[in-house]
Amino acid sequence: MKHSKRFLIVYLGLTLGLTALNASAQVAYRYPAESDEQSVVRLVALGSCAHQDKPQPLLDTAAALRPDLFLFLGDNIYGDTKNMAELRRKYERWMKKPEYGNLASATRILAVWDDHDYGANDAGRYYPFREESKTIFLDVFAEPEKSSRRDHPGIYHSVIYGPPEKRVQVIMLDTRTFRDNLLPNDGKPGHKYDYRPNPSPDSAFLGERQWAWLDSVLREPAQLRIIMSSTQFAHEYNGYESWTNVPREQERMLETLKRTRASGVVFISGDVHWGELSQMLVPGLYPVYDLTSSGITSTWDKPEPNQYRVGDVVMENNIGLIHIDWEAKPPLLRFQLKDTEGRIRLDHPVPLSDLSLPAKS
């Protein structure tokens, strides 16, 4: 694999964390993954929930497709530790995998975290090593030293790809650093499994600073906006971690989309160890889609009911795909889920024009 001189300088600069990555873990990343207004995005691949010590053939599947972007949605490793040297070693083991190297040399990679790579199961803002974990996360994903992502609490960020008429905005949310603890299940009717919805208007999911940033970036011009949320957004409450546990924050997101008049928004998520597409119909807004792809190595025994589900649920390991046909009239999105056998298990087209608000009168 060939490394450009610029890449070597950037990579060698990433040794400022708690411990340096082993040199043998280096792969030919197409980094830095910054905004690129010349690159037209036509295929986006995504996935989550990948244990660093298990084979990951789905990364080879994704690499063979040569997507323009691969978006990791969290639980990218299972770190689960307060030992930051061990957390870094787990990332290192993952990035030494030939499957990861194949993917990293084939496409740009963008990532957010969820609880297990953040550091602890279901952890939020009270996790004591969130700053140390952030440094490791940004280092291993080769975030440039001058990136604005290093200048604020949390890992939220956004990038732009493509010229104005084919512009894709990728919005990376941080659903961990600012999130309050969730309310445990109290056993009352309608509540199940781990958590119950918290009706308090003061319960935080993104935090005020991230909300202000999101309001700003949603006002930037783009035809398609892909919002990366580690946990599900547009689904039915099921008792596990998701936006449904903080319904006022979920409603705030919908109101933010209306207020900013942000067109072309789709959510992508992971976490649950199954794959599905959800469609939420919201008064005064276009349909809100959430493509969930989980997991690359993890599976679950049964899915939960979801009245917003479109098509079939995929219980086997899977990756998600978003095809963008800019030449169609109007441009066409196609949401897909693909399993380890290479079979398309879900295929749902959506005209991009369906994701727009009517013009103001």
CATH number (domain holding residue 14):
3.60.21.70
In a domain, 32, yes or no: no
Q: Are strands 309-314 and 332-339 parallel, antiparallel or unpaired?
A: unpaired
296, part of any domain: yes
* Per-residue CA distances from 147 to 33, 139, 155 (Å): 10, 11, 11
Phi-psi region of 59 (alpha: psi -120 to 50; beta: other; left: phi over 0): alpha
Residue 40 sits at φ, ψ, to 5 deg, of -85, 125
Eight-state DSSP code of residue 153: S
Distances (CA, A) of 249 to 124, 165, 202, 204, 268: 15, 32, 9, 7, 17
pLDDT at 221: 97
Q: What is the pLDDT of residue 17?
A: 37
Q: Above pLDDT 70, what percent of the chain?
A: 91
> Which string of b and e fits 300-319 if b means at least 16 CB within 10 Å?
eeebbebebbbeebbbebbb
pLDDT at 358: 81
Strand residues in the chain grouped as ranges (E): 43-47, 69-72, 108-111, 157-161, 168-172, 183-184, 195-196, 224-228, 265-269, 275-280, 288-292, 309-314, 318-325, 332-339, 344-351
Q: Decide if 166 is inside a domain.
A: yes
User: For residue 45, what pLDDT is reported?
Assistant: 98
Q: What single-letter DSSP state applies at residue 63? A: H
In a domain, 279, yes or no: yes
pLDDT at 305: 97
- Contact between 308 and 279 under an 8 Å Cβ cutoff? The reply is yes
pLDDT at 23: 34
| Residue 173 domain-assigned (yes or no) | yes
pTM for this structure?
A: 0.92
CA pair distance 135, 188, nearest whole angstrom: 41
Q: What residue ranges of the chain have pLDDT lower than 50?
A: 1-28
Task: Report if residue 29 sits inside a domain.
Answer: no
Residue 269 lies in a domain: yes
Per-residue confidence (pLDDT) for residue 361, from 0 to 100: 60
Determine, yes or no, domain membership for 123.
yes
Domain that holds residue 229: 5-23+39-355
What confidence score (pLDDT) does residue 166 get?
98
Please tell me the distance from the alpha carbon of residue 87 to that of residue 356, in angstroms, as a whole number. Answer: 42
CB atoms near residue 345 (< 10 Å): 17
Residue 287: cis peptide before it, omega within 30 degrees of 0: no
Question: Rounded to whole angstroms, how far apart are CA atoms 143 and 72?
Answer: 14
Q: How far is CA 301 from CA 64, 74, 236, 317, in A?
A: 29, 20, 18, 12
Whether cis (ω within 30° of 0) applies to the bond prior to 119 is no
CA-to-CA separations, 188 to 80, 191, 193, 195, in angstroms, rounded: 31, 6, 11, 11
Domain count, the chain: 1
Question: End-to-end distance of the chain based on CA atoms, in angstroms?
Answer: 56
